């Protein structure tokens, strides 16, 4: 913001620490534009974050659904391994 103009407001008898600075004119317009740009960027980031949260939640649900099938497959593989080891021991005997 290059062309920023400030106006100092101070009532009669008011202590200097109670002064208020007010942005006026072109500086005010520039600040409003920058504020709107920042709000738009923030909204875009919020939408992206919400999309990612939804994607994560969906994947978590999918994995939770896959878990029983994976457990069943793991038990089957373990049983196959045990049988193969027993067959190997019998073949050696």
Calculated CA dihedral for residues 56, 62, 65, 67, nearest 10 degrees: -80
Tokens linked to 68: 């029983």
Residue 47: its pLDDT value, please? Answer: 95
pLDDT digits (tens, 9 = 90+) for 72-81: 999 999 999 9
Q: How many domains does the chain have?
A: 1
71: domain range? 5-92
Residue 2: its pLDDT value, please? Answer: 45
DSSP for 35-70, written as a single string? HHHHHHHHHHHHHHHHHHHHHHHHHHHHHHHHHHHH
Percent of the chain past pLDDT 90, that is, above it, reads 43
Which residues have CB under 8 Å from 25's CB, separation 6+?
5
pLDDT digits (tens, 9 = 90+) for 21-61: 555 667 677 778 888 989 999 999 999 999 999 999 999 98
- 20-24/5-9 β-pairing: antiparallel
Question: Does the global pTM surpass 0.75?
Answer: no
């Amino acid at each position: 913001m290059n062309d920023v103009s400030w106006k100092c407001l101070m009532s009669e008898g008011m202590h200097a620490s109670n002064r208020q600075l007010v942005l006026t004119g072109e500086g005010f317009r520039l600040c409003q534009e920058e504020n709107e740009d920042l709000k738009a960027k923030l909204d875009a980031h919020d939408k992206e974050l919400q999309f990612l949260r939804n994607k994560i939640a969906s994947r978590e649900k999918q994995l939770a659904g896959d878990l029983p099938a994976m457990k069943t497959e793991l038990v089957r593989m373990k049983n196959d391994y045990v049988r193969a080891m027993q067959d190997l021991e019998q073949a050696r005997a």
